[in-house]
Amino acid sequence: MINVTLITGDGIGPQIAEATRRCVDATNPGINWELAQAGVDIMEKAGTPLPKETIDSVRKNGVALKAPITTPVGTGFRSINVFLRQQLELYACLRPCKSYKGVRSRYSDIDLVVVRENTEDLYAGIEFEKGKDDTTELINWLNKHNERKIRDDSGISIKPISVAGTQKIVRFAFEYARKQKRKKVTSVHKANIMKFSDGLWLDVSREVAKEYPDIEFEDRIVDNMCMQLIQKPELYDVLVLPNLYGDILSDLCAGLVGGLGVAPGANIGDKGAIFEATHGSAPKYAGQNKVNPCALILSGVLLLQYLDKQEEAKMLEQAVADVIAEGKYVTYDMKPDRNDPTAVGTSEMADAIIEKIKG
Ligand code: NAD
């Protein structure tokens, strides 16, 4: 048996976590779920939104499926998600975006994977606030060493991109492509403008690509990439991007395939991985057995792939695709009319998926 931590989250989290656990188990993957809590519900009991037992369980097992968590306001916790990501050094964010028949969308044949670098770039958190002494000192130094001057009343965010960080993420993208039998990796950048950060990213991407002659490689400038994704998304396969562009293009690609209801995700590092839906905890639907469990169930597909349970992953994904395509046992958000009285609840949709798996 493989131990996997199941973080049940809050808001809609516990109900979609239960639905997902049942669907994954129906494929008989040999997973032993270790239940753990995080979020606002446990905060009242434990005094922290992320109890030590939960962190210990994730560290011990190295693999977790995590339901959404409300970001607690005013607790000193910037975000539990960011904390877990840093603790486990989860440097890769994986977001497959695939068209499923029956999901309303402008496009019908998309099968893209966005691989986003998770630790560097403008999201590294190195910020200088307007008017602070450090900021003034930095501006003075920069103005002394550059012809171009920065205005005194500027705020500054630093954009570090390293050789080591870029090698890791680009290799990750190629390894993923190879394992999942994908054909092409596209590295996205703005190297024509930011020569020393994005330029480095592009140079390193090209070097790493040479290690993978079996997979096609190309690069695109990020603005052109956005236009191409809208005009001819079928030309692309695996995209690898620095943190900020990755954040923006993940949402663009999720939009291409019909939005949050079917957008799974994973954060992966060398020491472990956390699988989670892209959407949040939708607190207004907490406890109502109403919302769509598919994004977390499809994150379960990614979990199975990660555990090298490829057959089980295919079985689960096919079952989800079949239930969505039939459009009968689906939640309200997947019906053409959101008030359709024939919409089923979260657990009933999971039942329909399990029925398909059992054949
Ligand atoms: P949200 O994703 O929770 O909700 C946005 C909209 O989508 C809402 O209308 C919601 O009802 C709907 N929605 C979300 N998931 C759905 C589902 N499975 N089925 C049907 N409809 C669904 O975003 P929000 O309202 O901005 O955030 C709520 C809380 O979740 C915040 O505290 C935020 O910080 C947190 N959050 C957590 C994560 C995470 O844990 N990974 C991710 C995003 C947001």
| Domain limit, last residue, from 256, 274, 294 | 256
- Domain count for the chain, please give it: 3
Assess if residue 105 is contained within a domain.
no
Atom number, ligand 1, closest to the C-alpha of residue 283: 28
Q: By mean pLDDT, which of 11-15, 84-88, 93-97, 231-235 is the weakest?
A: 84-88
- Ligand 1 binding pocket (C-beta < 6 A) is 68-71, 81, 260-261, 276, 279-282, 285, 291-292, 295, 333
Q: What is the separation of C-alpha 219 from the centre of its chain, rounded to a whole number of angstroms?
A: 22
CATH code (residue 309): 3.40.718.10
The number of residues making up the chain comes to 359
The per-residue pLDDT for range 133-190, each reduced to its tens digit, is: 999 999 999 999 999 999 999 999 999 999 999 999 999 999 999 999 999 999 999 9
| Domain limit, last residue, from 235, 256, 277 | 256
Q: Whose CA is nearest to atom 27 of ligand 1?
A: 280
Same domain, 358 and 271: yes
Instruction: Check whether 75 has a pLDDT greater than 80.
Output: no
Same domain, 183 and 206: yes
Residue 9 and residue 183: Cα distance in Å, rounded?
36
Question: Please, are residues 186 and 246 in contact by the beta-carbon 8 Å criterion?
Answer: no
Residue 253 and residue 111: Cα distance in Å, rounded?
10
Same domain, 199 and 125: no
CATH code (residue 236): 3.40.50.2300
C-alpha 278 – ligand 1 centre gap (Å): 8
Angle of helix 294-306 versus helix 310-326 axis, rounded to 10: 160
Residue 104 and residue 255: Cα distance in Å, rounded?
11
Mean pLDDT across the chain, nearest whole number?
A: 94
Residue 39 and residue 67: Cα distance in Å, rounded?
10
Give the pair of three-digit tokens for residue 237. Answer: 């396969």
Instruction: Check whether 325 has a pLDDT greater than 70.
Output: yes
**E strand or H helix at 267:** strand 264-268
Local structure of 34: helix, strand or coil:
strand
The whole model's pTM is what? Answer: 0.92
Active site residue 190: yes
Active site residue 223: yes
C-alpha 279 – ligand 1 centre gap (Å): 5
Active site residue 111: no
Q: Whose CA is nearest to atom 5 of ligand 1?
A: 282
Q: Whose CA is nearest to atom 10 of ligand 1?
A: 282
pLDDT at 41: 87
Same domain, 271 and 352: yes
pLDDT at 82: 76
Domain that holds residue 136: 121-158
C-alpha 12 – ligand 1 centre gap (Å): 9
C-alpha 125 – ligand 1 centre gap (Å): 24
* Bridging pattern class, strands 273-277 and 63-66: parallel
Active site residue 232: no
pLDDT at 78: 62
Same domain, 267 and 359: yes
